[in-house]
Structure 1
Amino acid sequence: MSLSFSKIKVLHVASEMHPIVKKGGLGDVIGSLPKAQRELGVDSRVLLPLYPNVSNNIKEKLKKISRKLYIPLEWRVFPASLWRTDIQGVPVYLLDIEDVPFPAEIYPNLLNMDLIKPFFLLSLAAIEFEKASRWRPQILHLHDWPTSSVAIALKWHMYYSSLSGLYDTVLTIHNLAHQGIMQETDLISWGIPKEVHNIEGLEYYGMTNLLKGGIIASDAVTTVSPRYSWEIQTKEYGMGLDGVLKQYSNKLRGILNGIDYSYWNPKTDPFIPAHYDVEDIAPKRKCREELLSRCGWSEDGSPILIYVGRLAEQKGIDLILLSIEPIVGHGCKMIILGEGSEIYERTLKKASLQFPTNLFVKIGYDEELAHLMYAGGDMLIMPSYFEPCGLAQLIAMRYGTVPICRATGGLADTVIDADTACDGTGFLFSSYSSEAFLHAIGRALGAWNSTKLWNQIVQNCMRADFSWSRSSREYVNLYLELLGVPEHEDNVKPNFNA
């Protein structure tokens, strides 16, 4: 039996996609993975919520599909419209449900049936999708708890379970810390029978856990790095679902995220003042000068440490706070860009006032500044408590900025310690402590003081390949496995009208 890549039809059902809407790494993945799959010949498309004002972020034309979807829920039918656009060649559909707006903040802080309801409707719309689009996927690829209800409905819903034979489902866990937990346990008005609320179903310590249900109900479960797929089967990192993940480990695998090298490319990046590559790194110095100027600093030859990301406990911000004074004491400059916990934001701003010539803090997200930091920085710090994959270290390496990371999850999968290997790309530490973090920074500074060694590490970073080409093929091979087709290497020209 043979099935060319061009015959595989995949619908990614997600809550984010860069550049339309992005809150974290999930948005980057959905902005890149379907595009990479289409380059392999797979007919890969995306279904997203139409959030309030999100159309302002779409430069391409939005076209309303004339046929409507009708989604049954709570003893009534909700009419919904699909809007279509194309993002970098990827067909993207945005769901607009009458009388049920999606939350402007994307993810509500507290979850209950009313707040989860739009995402449950999105999940049912994925199953109904063919009726409006006139295109039926074979694979429904789900991402995190907001769309895990697709698999739940296909397994347990009083009506949609009868359609389970039409689709194979893949659930990707981007961050196990977010599980879609709510107090309500009676989902009969959503078409989920009461008997499903048990330990083998949606029940979770007397509550309902949608991600747990998705793990049980999906045909395959993936995480965004191999190591993270092992870590989440332990009590330390399993977030209460380690037992479930162990039970279903036969369908669990880790596939490393990539980054879009057409976007994150120091040779063509429109956000940076000088372009460079591994063959000519010298222009990176101009980026450094511009970064220093942006912070109100002059050049003094100090190493520049950068942090780009959420200000959250997961990211090891407490270790960064404990280490600011010693880092500054070593003569380093630090630049931090991110937003998150109010207490972290407040403490960092206070520290920046204490060390104005060595610490610059920008609360929020600034795309242009982020690119300039990756290009102008010398070292990236990522002392994460846990990290499913991590994208910042992949981007930093692409720009010749050396990562200093805790050896966890995707960080351990992607960074090679430069003190233990000639092809090293960064500096790793294991213990979650400020002492271990500072020791790794000290090792990095030792390498920094050797121009020849440092240049070799920078070149190793820039030569590392974390493009989506390999990872997207791993996903395609998983699809083929679910469809009952042996792995093969043919890469047929796309035929998306088939």
Structure 2
Amino acid sequence: MGGRVLSVASECVPLVKTGGLADVAGALPGALEPLGWEMRTLIPAYPGLVEKLADATEAWSDDDLFGGPARVLIGRVGPAIILALDAPHLYDRSGGPYGDPHDFPDNARRFAALSWVAAQIAASGLSDGWQPQVVHCHDWQAGFAPAYMDLCTRTPARSVMTIHNIAFKGEAPAAALDALRLPVSAFNRDSLEFWGNLSSLKAGIAHADAVTTVSPTYAAELMRPAFGFGFEGLLEYRAADFHGILNGIDTAVWDPARDPLIVETYDAATLSKKARNRAALLAEFDLAETEGPLAVVVSRLTGQKGMDLLAESLPDFLASGGALAVLGSGEAGIEADLRSLAEAHPGRVGLRIGYDEALSHRMFAGGDAVLVPSRFEPCGLTQMYGLAYGCVPVVALTGGLADTVIDANPMAISDGVATGLQFHPVDALAFSQTLRRTVSLFQDKGTWTKMQKTGMSQALGWERSAASYADLYESLIA
């Protein structure tokens, strides 16, 4: 069938990225194109972004977009069609997309403006005649778009709201209703009101024609108080319209057989070449050769990611011959604990505070196992990168981690389907026990190699996910 979709996001690879949302926004258009869907992506024009667009021309304008003039420039980045919302009073400022180190105080207005423009494009189209049939909104930053479409513009286009991380609600005081061009009559529990405040994520969930999240298990978890962050009742109410669609990864970028960023390329048939990458990674982190597994962590160093468990759970793993290389940044206390761990175990623990995309590739290529002990994980891409590179995932049993990693229990090992190790509950004891199991399995070279090759054979790209989104779009406009 096919059709036209406007994707609305605050970040998009390769233009701007702070997390996995950008990967999804960047990958979906290309994955949908073979299925007959033309997706254009609307994002804010942060400093320097317009200069990255090829053949940019004006496609929409407004003299007063929430306090200043604005225009939408349409251009290309490779094959992707980008709609850059150029509104200097909102987006031309230093720091990250949301503020650095703290959120900008006017973020509610900044991203309400993005949502407002999406609704206007849905209602009236662009100057080149293009008008979407579906508006696909990503996370709280685009959450007001379905509400504007439903309450203000009355557009015939349908809307999809995707939750990437429900912990970020997009809250604003109720007094902001008028400034955000929202009707006071809609400030109720069935529409915009969220525990006395506004929430753009609540608005999107309540008003979108369909709601999705990024893995089937996370969709089920979100209907429970332990995971729902106050939205569980609304999501249960919308269960018939709520879908868990697993993310994929860009297999053109994350492929050890043709990755220019690693020391030596390899595939499942030449897995022995991974040893050169391992040796290079040990040297890069000043780690000694070890008989146990070289574990890697590539993560935000936060409690949500379970990074506080490392300092307590790793000593036994290290004593059993394991080593650890960490790349990430985050909470000051966790960073300090990891520095102390590295100081206490020289030659066994290496730490790089910050983020380095090329180094992350070398870590998956050189690591034996990747540790992902998240307390909750909507989808997670790290474990999928690990699978692709034969870097066996050791993961908490939650969200997308549960959907993408098959635990090395005796039955799965016997049947040859195991791809990693899972643990539950998410605490230091369970993590420590699973790390001991990791060391034991690593010593069984036949089993470990089979797990690596099985993981590398998984379908990790966007094809299945794109087909699911295409089916959803078609169901909405049929």
> Could you tell me the TM-score, scaled by structure 1's length?
0.90
Q: Which moved more, 1:264-273 or 1:413-422?
A: 413-422
After superposition, where does 1:484-495 map in structure 2 within 5 Å? 484=478
After superposition, where does 1:410-489 map in structure 2 within 5 Å? 410-419=400-409, 420-421=411-412, 422=415, 423-484=417-478
Q: Which residue type is aligned with residue 246 of structure 2? A: L
Query: 8 Å contact 1:49–1:102 — kept in the other structure?
Result: no
Deviation at 1:98, TM superposition (A): 4.2
Q: Distance in 1 between matches of 2:104 and 2:384?
A: 36
2:28 corresponding residue in structure 1: 33
Deviation at 1:425, TM superposition (A): 0.3
Query: 8 Å contact 2:377–2:400 — kept in the other structure?
Result: yes
Q: Distance in 1 between matches of 2:242 and 2:307?
A: 30
Query: 8 Å contact 1:311–1:344 — kept in the other structure?
Result: yes
Q: Distance in 2 between matches of 1:417 and 1:99?
A: 50
| DSSP 3-state at the match of 1:65 | strand
C-alpha spacing 1:290/1:123, structure 2 compared with 1 (3 Å)? same
1:107 corresponding residue in structure 2: 98
Deviation at 1:156, TM superposition (A): 2.1
1:29-59 CA-to-partner distances (Å, cap 9, x unmatched) read 1121111111323111211111123457x3x
Structure 2 residue runs of 5 or longer lacking an equivalent are: none
Q: Distance in 2 between matches of 1:254 and 1:320?
A: 30
Q: Which moved more, 1:38-47 or 1:236-245?
A: 38-47
Q: Distance in 2 between matches of 1:127 and 1:89?
A: 25
Q: Distance in 1 between matches of 2:290 and 2:366?
A: 14
2:75 corresponding residue in structure 1: 85
Q: Which residue type is aligned with residue 310 of structure 1? A: R
1:242-266 CA-to-partner distances (Å, cap 9, x unmatched) read 1111111111010000011111000
| DSSP 3-state at the match of 1:388 | coil
1:387 corresponding residue in structure 2: 377
After superposition, where does 1:74-473 map in structure 2 within 5 Å? 78-101=68-91, 104-108=95-99, 114-129=106-121, 130-157=125-152, 160=153, 162=154, 164-165=155-156, 167-419=157-409, 420-421=411-412, 422=415, 423-473=417-467
Deviation at 1:458, TM superposition (A): 0.7
Q: Distance in 1 between matches of 2:63 and 2:243?
A: 33
| DSSP 3-state at the match of 1:126 | helix
Q: Distance in 2 between matches of 1:218 and 1:111?
A: 26
Q: Distance in 1 between matches of 2:338 and 2:423?
A: 23
Deviation at 1:207, TM superposition (A): 1.2
| DSSP 3-state at the match of 2:74 | strand
Q: Which residue type is aligned with residue 38 of structure 1? A: E
Deviation at 1:89, TM superposition (A): 1.2
Q: Which residue type is aligned with residue 100 of structure 1? A: L
C-alpha spacing 1:483/1:305, structure 2 compared with 1 (3 Å)? same
Deviation at 1:94, TM superposition (A): 1.3
1:9 corresponding residue in structure 2: 4
Q: Distance in 1 between matches of 2:30 and 2:36?
A: 10
C-alpha spacing 1:180/1:102, structure 2 compared with 1 (3 Å)? farther
Q: Which residue type is aligned with residue 340 of structure 1? A: G
Q: Which residue type is aligned with residue 64 of structure 1? A: A
Query: 8 Å contact 2:215–2:379 — kept in the other structure?
Result: yes
Q: Distance in 2 between matches of 1:113 and 1:185?
A: 15
Which of 50, 53, 56 does residue 48 from structure 2 map onto? 53
C-alpha spacing 1:112/1:367, structure 2 compared with 1 (3 Å)? closer
Q: Distance in 2 between matches of 1:51 and 1:19?
A: 13
Deviation at 1:227, TM superposition (A): 0.6
Aligned length: 469
Query: 8 Å contact 2:322–2:439 — kept in the other structure?
Result: no
| DSSP 3-state at the match of 1:283 | helix
Which of 13, 17, 21 does residue 16 from structure 2 map onto? 21
Deviation at 1:67, TM superposition (A): 4.5
Structure 1 residue runs of 5 or longer lacking an equivalent are: 485-498
Q: Which residue type is aligned with residue 25 of structure 1? A: G
Q: Which residue type is aligned with residue 105 of structure 1? A: G
Deviation at 1:87, TM superposition (A): 3.0
Q: What's the C-alpha RMSD, in Å, of the aligned pairs?
A: 1.8
> Could you tell me the TM-score, scaled by structure 2's length?
0.94
Deviation at 1:99, TM superposition (A): 2.6
Q: Distance in 2 between matches of 1:193 and 1:408?
A: 38
Query: 8 Å contact 1:62–1:83 — kept in the other structure?
Result: no
Q: Distance in 1 between matches of 2:253 and 2:46?
A: 24
Q: Which moved more, 1:208-217 or 1:91-100?
A: 91-100
Q: Which residue type is aligned with residue 149 of structure 1? A: F
2:58 corresponding residue in structure 1: 66
Q: Which moved more, 1:323-332 or 1:288-297?
A: 323-332
Query: 8 Å contact 2:287–2:323 — kept in the other structure?
Result: no
Q: Distance in 2 between matches of 1:339 and 1:247?
A: 38
Q: Distance in 2 between matches of 1:67 and 1:253?
A: 33
Query: 8 Å contact 2:290–2:323 — kept in the other structure?
Result: no
Q: Distance in 2 between matches of 1:63 and 1:155?
A: 33
1:491 corresponding residue in structure 2: none
Deviation at 1:418, TM superposition (A): 1.4
Query: 8 Å contact 1:64–1:83 — kept in the other structure?
Result: yes
1:492 corresponding residue in structure 2: none
1:487 corresponding residue in structure 2: none
Report sequence identity in percent.
Answer: 35
Higher relative contact order, structure no. (Cα contacts within 8 Å, ≥ 6 residues apart): 1
1:95-151 CA-to-partner distances (Å, cap 9, x unmatched) read 111432255321247668722212111111123332345311111100000011110
Q: Which residue type is aligned with residue 207 of structure 2? A: A
Q: Which residue type is aligned with residue 205 of structure 1? A: W
| DSSP 3-state at the match of 2:168 | coil
Deviation at 1:390, TM superposition (A): 0.6
